[in-house]
Chain A
Amino acid sequence: MRLKCAEKLAALCLSAAMAVSVSACSGGNMYASSNDSSSIADNDVITIGSVTTNSGSAAAYGESEVNGFRLAIKEINENGGIFGKQVRLESMDDKGDVIEASNAFNRLAGEKNVIAVLGPTISSTSGAVAPLADQNQMPSIAPAATADSVETGGYLFRTCFKDSYQGQIAAKYAAENLKVNKVAVLYGTGDPYSSGVGKAFVAAAKKAGLQVVAEENSSSTDDTEYSSQLQKIEASGAEFLYAPYYYSAVGPYIVPQARAVGYDGYIMGPDGYDGLKTTGNKARYDKVLYTTHYSPDDKSNKKVQQFIKSYKDANDGESPNTFTALGYDSVYMFKQAIEQAGENATRADIRNAIAGMHFSGVTGEFTLDKQGSPEEIGHRAGDEERLADLQRHHPTGQVGRIP
């Protein structure tokens, strides 16, 4: 019986191996990219793929990123391309779904002429794509995947800062700039972004000597009613509320409901607040702050005003948001890396050029970590310097206010 089992297992393994080899053949050069060094010299145009969320609940982020990609590529092409070659974008939609993102990424990786990939948009899909990027040796930049759990440093990099960093900045800002003592936190436990940032804030706040008087949760970040939790926060005597949610919950629900239950202290959150639209009485949003990658009010950085102007010209006067800015910078990061890697740059060359690069764009100036070693994966050596740098640029300390 045992033998039979072993035999069956062996047969199963064999058939599985065959299936893998068959699919490897039929799936184009899915695993072949390591042997086959396709370089930008092979084609007349440079094709950059993108995997973004263009439909579903996070579609607004993906669409903004793609707008940023298109603007940057248009500018690059108008200025003579990269090494005289025009850049082309092959954009794919992952619907915010892990499987769709993996399939789209593998398809792009299988296409010889695709030299690099922009995306994915959100943290969950980026986390799924990270090992695929390493496996296919496909240099990729996720513009806005902020979750700490996304394993960057191999072939996947990011333009944004990490979630834990946002929580720390907020705690620091509350203690040093706002000089509050009693803080409260409200986050959605069902959402890794919300709970990740929220927990990082609590840890950092305690370290900074702040008193965490209330820690409330919601089951999801799609809830419309937060009055019960906010009422408790109000009763706890908090002067500062950290509420890491998306703009879609903060603008119409959390801020008005907090004011309705009588809470009139600060409300602060992470980059998800970007794109927030105020409803009703604007005065309710006076003490709402958020950490951001990009500030349109940054007058000291010439690139920012230039970017806003060219985006508005290309999009009927519409203003770009953080995701557009991150997408825009991601394209320029690839441009810088390709130019550094040379006219015969392969995917691996581009990856090596990105690792450790120093970059200056509309989202600020930063240095990427050089090492992709497991312990340091995802670590950004530049984080501390970047904060200092951004504080120099933004008198408010990299904190956005609701316009």
Chain B
Amino acid sequence: MGDQIIMFISQIFNGLKIGSVYSLVALGYTMVYGIIRLINFAHGDFIMVGSYVLMLTIPFIIACGLPAWLAVVPAILVCVAVGVIVEKAAYKPVREKGNNMTALITAIAMSLLLENGSQAIFGADYQTVPTIIQIPTLALGGLKIDGATILTVLLGLVIMVALQLFVKYTKQGKAMRAVSEDKEASILMGVNVNSTITLTFAIGSGLAAVASLMYCVSYPQVSPMMGAMLGLKAFVAAVLGGIGSIPGAMVGGLVIGVVESLTKAYIGTITAGVITSAFSDAIVFGILIIVLLVKPSGLMGEPESEKV
């Protein structure tokens, strides 16, 4: 019986490992969506860009005698630059001329452009990322907990609180909320809508770079297509948690990860082998549908109150 309990807790931590990465990615989705109501489908590909920057800069950082994780600094800079360029060059003109739908299609186009562009530059092959940090595994009796999981969850929580404080109490944060509530009215109130949106993108893209760091710690491999499925799962996490809600993104990511892990571990036993662990994705998306049917605004989303 003791073994079973340890197994169960281990499986929850297995889920938290991937779930914490989903959370970090989902925070970026929710940030942008909360302000300009745009689902930035290229967000997963920003993670890819960040990961390539990490892969390329880590050898230099190590050669300079600095810890490898400092490669996140150039990654943030590049991601912010890419995010701001994408917003200025693609989303802004479309947003001004078209509607939400055209912006969404543009986001999908940007995603494809980034994927195929990086394939043209880096080639289609998978490349490994050098070891970033060696985090010891925590052993509590029979239970082994991956240190990277704990770190990712903690980092996610810190970012979540920081974002929440930023949006609630700073001037720029208030401007963001104003733009999200009513764009026209905030212009009348003297809010510079364009620079507010640019700042939102810069923060969202910077978060993508941080997410790529934690992703590469746990899954040290990059390829041009890596952002596609990751972005989709994180998007589902953001919707499950209530898109636009910062704590929702955090909760949504962790829930998706744990559900995934537990279905992989137990669905075969529960259904006597009828449904195998291969169905875990189907079950995760099935749960999303049920949650949205019962609570359309997601777990933490509150349609009446303000978002972000």
Contacts and interface: CB of A to CB of B under 8 A. Distances in A.
B229 A222 contact: yes
A280 B265 contact: no
Interface size class of B (residues with CB under 8 A): 35 or more
A189 B220 contact: no
Nearest to B262: A228
Contacts of B14: 225, 227-228, 231, 261
A220 B280 CA distance: 10
Contact of B279 (A219, A247, A248): A219
B128 A251 contact: yes
B111 interface: no
Contacts of B126: 60, 247-248, 252, 277
B282 interface: yes
A280 B124 contact: no
A232 B265 contact: yes
B124 A55 contact: yes
Interface in B9-46: 10-11, 14-15, 17-18
B102 interface: no
A231 B229 contact: no
B164 interface: no
Contacts of A247: 126
A217 B276 contact: yes
Interface in B116-153: 119, 123-129, 131, 137, 144, 146
A76 interface: no
Contacts of B11: 228, 231
B124 A231 contact: no
Interface residues of A, number: 35
Contacts of A229: 264-265, 277
Contacts of A27: none
Interface of A: 55-57, 59-60, 63, 188-190, 216-220, 222, 224-225, 227-229, 231-232, 235, 247-248, 251-253, 260-262, 277-280
Given A224-B219, A225-B18, 12 more contacts: A218-B264, A218-B280, A219-B279, A220-B281, A225-B14, A228-B277, A229-B277, A231-B14, A235-B7, A261-B144, A277-B126, A280-B220
Interface of B: 3, 7, 10-11, 14-15, 17-18, 119, 123-129, 131, 137, 144, 146, 219-221, 223, 225, 229-230, 260-262, 264-265, 268, 276-282
Q: Which 8 pairs between the two chains have the least Cβ-Cβ distance?
A: A59-B124, A228-B264, A217-B278, A252-B221, A227-B14, A189-B278, A60-B125, A225-B18
